[in-house]
Chains A and B, each alone.
Chain A
Amino acid sequence: AQSVTQPDIHITVSEGASLELRCNYSYGATPYLFWYVQSPGQGLQLLLKYFSGDTLVQGIKGFEAEFKRSQSSFNLRKPSVHWSDAAEYFCAVGATSGTYKYIFGTGTRLKVLA
């Protein structure tokens, strides 16, 4: 069975600073991995996905994530955070067969200081 851990419940960064959100997963093979962002009162928007190939994945809004098989991690990064990035971020691991079921982490709430 797959599982996802997001160790940081809250993170606060200053605008213009770099950002890294952590995600660790458990899965019996190489999984599908996703990062979603959720603004207040909104649904989840896909930032980026990893299926296979290049382990550094580029997404929308200047985000990137790196898949590290040896560490079972898929951390999200952004070199310079904007105030509009304040939101909740969810990592998800997807099964690669069967129902392609997703399991979501508990989320990391990002606060950006002006």
Chain B
Amino acid sequence: EAGVAQSPRYKIIEKRQSVAFWCNPISGHATLYWYQQILGQGPKLLIQFQNNGVVDDSQLPKDRFSAERLKGVDSTLKIQPAKLEDSAVYLCASSGQGHQPQHFGDGTRLSIL
């Protein structure tokens, strides 16, 4: 079974620029999550999709972050404009129906200069 795929693995941009991350979940997983992991902290949920609908985006900074999952499969997370405090690893995870465990990709490490 192929795992959760994320790209790019690394990204360096200057503040105020925009950036986008891509995630392809495990085949058949209806639920997709984007997490932000700041150095020295645990992952923090940004947004959760069930198929192509948003079920939780309470911690997504909507003035600069956006995410979509148009066909209920892969997803993109965008930051525009980026701030220094957005430097973090962005993790994508997916899970099957109900209370199935989440499976994580390797993440995208974002550095803001």
Contacts and interface: CB of A to CB of B under 8 A. Distances in A.
Nearest to B43: A104
B56 A46 contact: no
Interface stretch (B13-21, B79-87, B94-102): B94-102
Residue among A4, A96, A107 with the highest chain B CB neighbour number at 10 A: A107
Q: Which of under 10, 10 to 19, 20 to 34, or 35 or more describes the interface residues of A? A: 20 to 34
A33 to B, nearest CB: 11
A43 B104 contact: yes
Nearest to B98: A100
Contacts of A92: 42
A95 to B, nearest CB: 9
Contacts of B56: 99, 101
A2 to B, nearest CB: 12
Contacts of A36: 104
A101 B56 CA distance: 9
Given A101-B48, A101-B56, A49 B101 contact: yes
Given A44-B91, A105-B42, A96 B106 contact: no
A29 to B, nearest CB: 13
A94 B95 CA distance: 13
Q: Which of under 10, 10 to 19, 20 to 34, or 35 or more describes the interface residues of B? A: 20 to 34
B25 interface: no
Contacts of B98: 100
B61 interface: no
A98 to B, nearest CB: 8
Interface string B37-48: 000111111001
A90 interface: yes
A106 B40 contact: yes
Contacts of A101: 45, 48, 56
- Give me the 7 closest cross-chain CB pairs, A-B, nearest first: A104-B42, A43-B104, A44-B104, A43-B106, A99-B55, A104-B43, A99-B56
